[in-house]
Amino acid sequence: MRLVNRTFDELQPGDTAELRRLITQDDLYGFASVSGNFNPMHLPNEDGDGDGHPDGIAPGMFVASLLSAVLGSRLPGPGTLYRRQGLEFHQHVREGDELITRVTVLSKAPNGEVTLATEIRRVADAALVLSGEAVVIAPTFKFDRDDIEVPGLIVQRHRHFDAFLETARPLPALVTAVVCPEEANSLDGALLAMKESIITPILVGHAAAIRAAAAALGADLTGIEIVEAATHAEAAALACALVHEGRAQAVMKGHLHTDDLLKPMVDRDKGLRIGRRFTHVFVMDVPGQPHPVMVTDAAINIAPDLATKVDICQNAIDLALSLGMEPKVGVLSAVETVNPAIQSSIDAALLSKMADRGQIRGGLVEGPLAMDNAVDLAAARSKGLKGGVAGQANILVVPGIDAGNMLAKQLAFISHAEGAGLVLGAKVPVILNSRSDSSMSRLASCAVAAIHHFHVLGATKA
């Protein structure tokens, strides 16, 4: 953005400047973080006055700060310093309001001070929300530059998961066999999802340990079915049995090893196989990204061959469609060209061609792609890559479990993403989180499972 000021000598009474600004949820969170003002009246989705409705009122001093944006950037512009500011607040501003901030020069003083009328109005109805007068020291040095760089700020908010929760809440509660919720964190996620009416849990495991975990949380298990199982293996087998009996619509991992959970599920007679390979998808909500990002497979298939990667792609596409996404599958390798010495690049090219021939259905598949040109449009264009996936991928198919695990954890611990984990290819969704995952991740996983289950159920009935 080019910044040009008006020096004291250039200013004349009647000179005016203005800026428009849409007030967003990120503005409210950002101001709370920077200022330390955590008044719930000013936070989205919080009820600060007890009337049962979220308030989302923009803090008065945040609204007033828009005046400094005009004074410091437009009129008088760079070099301006405040002396004093009078403020009168007329109406509240809420997230979603668009405001127009205007300053007008009233007078100049010999000591370099300039007095300006200041006002902020709501664009929709021209209502005056703030008025006052500012006295500033105007610049005497001419400033005209377009190379001022200000780092962007990313609010660590998980808006995509919020949207999943909003979609899942009206659905029937998904009856879920929770296997070995014998530790506070794993039990808390299930109870939180129950509180949100997303699942109805059946707790399968050592009953005394489950009740001890509930006691540690201060949670009441009254009315929740507990199925006794002496061992982890027995609990996992009982969960499969509950599915076959029609009593459970999903399975959720508690505090046990993934191998112990999945072993009875792959049993040919009593397991949950339906034909495709079991594959795992992380649905990642990465702050600042315009869409969720799926990483697959990062938890089950160690070194998948081409046939397994076909199922990995198809399962992820099916999940993306159920979540309302337009599936764009980037098959990752170290390079974006086929190299006979790099097997993942060969597999990626074959998967892309198989999608062209209808062997993978429902989404766009492109590869090989390196990570940068899979998710960054500028990087893709710099390599001359075109099409509907390069630079826009929302499903990332990794070469193997090493790459997938590292990518998912980098997104979580460096980019502050939350991840929902789901196993696909079974008779029912299998909610699979790490034992160290937060309750929010477990809640989001339940929401994703519920949305997927009822989408598939609806498609089957249709």
pLDDT digits (tens, 9 = 90+) for 194-240: 999 999 999 999 999 999 999 999 999 999 999 999 999 999 999 99
pLDDT over threshold 60, residue 462? no
Please report whether residue 153 resides in a domain: no
Q: How much is the pLDDT for 147?
A: 86
169 plus 134 within the same structural domain: no
58 plus 170 within the same structural domain: no
Please report whether residue 372 resides in a domain: yes
pLDDT over threshold 80, residue 271? yes
Candidate from 63-77, 126-140, 430-444 with smallest mean pLDDT: 430-444
210 plus 131 within the same structural domain: no
354 plus 442 within the same structural domain: yes
pLDDT digit string (tens) for 249-265? 999 999 999 999 999 99
Q: Is the C-alpha dihedral spanning 208, 214, 219, 225 positive or negative?
A: negative
pLDDT over threshold 70, residue 304? yes
Candidate from 120-124, 136-140, 330-334, 376-380 with smallest mean pLDDT: 376-380
Q: How much is the pLDDT for 157?
A: 65
Q: How confident is the model at residue 386 (pLDDT cuts 50, 70, 90)?
A: confident
pLDDT over threshold 90, residue 178? yes
Q: How confident is the model at residue 460 (pLDDT cuts 50, 70, 90)?
A: low
Please report whether residue 370 resides in a domain: yes
88 plus 119 within the same structural domain: yes
259 plus 191 within the same structural domain: yes
pLDDT higher for 55 or 42? 42
Please report whether residue 290 resides in a domain: yes
Determine the average pLDDT of the residues in 76-101.
Answer: 95
Candidate from 44-58, 62-76, 159-173, 320-334 with smallest mean pLDDT: 44-58
Last residue of a domain, one of 90, 110, 145: 145
Last residue of a domain, one of 145, 178, 198: 145
Determine the average pLDDT of the residues in 68-94.
Answer: 96
Q: How many domains does the chain have?
A: 2
Q: How much is the pLDDT for 265?
A: 94
Please report whether residue 73 resides in a domain: yes
Most confident of 283-297, 326-340, 428-442: 326-340
Please report whether residue 150 resides in a domain: no
pLDDT over threshold 70, residue 390? yes
Last residue of a domain, one of 145, 175, 199: 145
Q: How much is the pLDDT for 143?
A: 94
Mean pLDDT score across all residues of the chain: 92
Percent of the chain with pLDDT over 70: 98
Residue 110 sits in a domain whose CATH number is 3.10.129.10
188 plus 278 within the same structural domain: yes
Q: How confident is the model at residue 435 (pLDDT cuts 50, 70, 90)?
A: low
Q: How confident is the model at residue 269 (pLDDT cuts 50, 70, 90)?
A: confident
Determine the average pLDDT of the residues in 383-388.
Answer: 88
What range does the domain containing 174 cover? 159-461
State residue 97 phi and psi, 5-degree precision.
-75, 140
Question: Which residues lie below 8 Å from residue 245, measured CB to CB, with a gap of 6+?
Answer: none
Determine the average pLDDT of the residues in 380-384.
Answer: 89
Q: How much is the pLDDT for 48?
A: 86
308 plus 443 within the same structural domain: yes
Determine the average pLDDT of the residues in 180-192.
Answer: 91
130 plus 165 within the same structural domain: no
Determine the average pLDDT of the residues in 72-82.
Answer: 95
Please report whether residue 28 resides in a domain: yes
273 plus 130 within the same structural domain: no
Please report whether residue 259 resides in a domain: yes
pLDDT over threshold 70, residue 156? no
Distance CA 141, CA 79 (A): 8
Residue 397 sits in a domain whose CATH number is 3.40.718.10
